[in-house]
Amino acid sequence: MHSHPLAPLLRRALEARSPVRVDEPGRRLAAVALVVAPSPDSILLIRRAERTGDPWSGQVGLPGGGFDPADVELLATAVRETFEEVGVDLGTAECVGALDDVAPRTPVLPPVTVRPFVFCLPARPPLTLSAEVAHAFWTELELLRRPGARVTRSLEILGIPRTIDGYLVGEDFVWGMTERILTPFLRLAPPA
């Protein structure tokens, strides 16, 4: 199997650190896949479909979702959810490691712990979107690093004005837990 050129570098960077784990009783577990593909080096982002009752409805994030008792471990959750949401089979992809666990910082969101796994693919696969995903797209790592990509915006969240850091990707604003996953990843990933 051909490997992505970044895979060994990312693996070394991830193995050189101890990921922070959030292990609090009563929290649901979830996993997301940070999928990296070359030419140019890019990551896969999704915009969730607008759905009543979904606290992340319409937001841009990474493919993934909640742990199912049938999943052997959280890595299996990331693989299963990515296939269900965007039709990408990560079963044979190279998982180079995991980033720090993240959890919502606001009590209005469900108590969940999300573990991000980093996968490297040798090429961009075709995408087949489920009803949970309104849009999926590849975003170049260098675009996320460019001056002006990381911005601060004022958003109203559940009627409360807040100042939020995030990434401007075209017309999309990537913030919240996804921003908290991407920022340390971009520090670890070597620039092109």
φ, ψ of residue 158 in degrees (nearest 5): 50, 40
What pLDDT was estimated at residue 122? 93
Give the residue, 63 or 176, on which the prediction is more confident: 63
Tell me the average pLDDT across 57-86. 93
Q: Is 56 a residue whose pLDDT tops 90?
A: no
What pLDDT was estimated at residue 43? 96
Residue 159: inside a domain: no
Write the CATH number for 19.
3.90.79.10
Tell me the average pLDDT across 44-57. 78
Nearest Cα residue to 134 out of 5, 73, 46: 46
Distance between CA 78 and CA 34 in Å, rounded?
9
Q: Is 1 a residue whose pLDDT tops 60?
A: no
Collapsing DSSP to helix, strand or coil, 114 comes out as strand
Q: Is 53 a residue whose pLDDT tops 70?
A: no
Residue 33: inside a domain: yes
What rounded mean pLDDT belongs to the chain? 89
Distance between CA 189 and CA 11 in Å, rounded?
10
- How many other CB atoms sit within 10 Å of the CB of residue 187? 9
The pTM of the whole model exceeds 0.95: no
Structure confidence at residue 44 as a pLDDT band (50, 70, 90) = very high
Per mean pLDDT, which range of 1-10, 118-127, 159-168 is the poorest?
Answer: 1-10
Number of structural domains in the chain = 1
Q: Is 109 a residue whose pLDDT tops 90?
A: no
The answer to whether residues 43 and 141 touch, using CB atoms and an 8 Å cutoff, is yes
Residue 162: inside a domain: no
Residue 166: inside a domain: no
What pLDDT was estimated at residue 42? 95
Both tokens assigned to 40:
């140019």
What pLDDT was estimated at residue 187? 92
Range of the domain at 83: 7-145+174-188
Residue 15: inside a domain: yes
Residue 99: inside a domain: yes
Tell me the average pLDDT across 54-68. 84
Residue 163: inside a domain: no
Residue 158: inside a domain: no
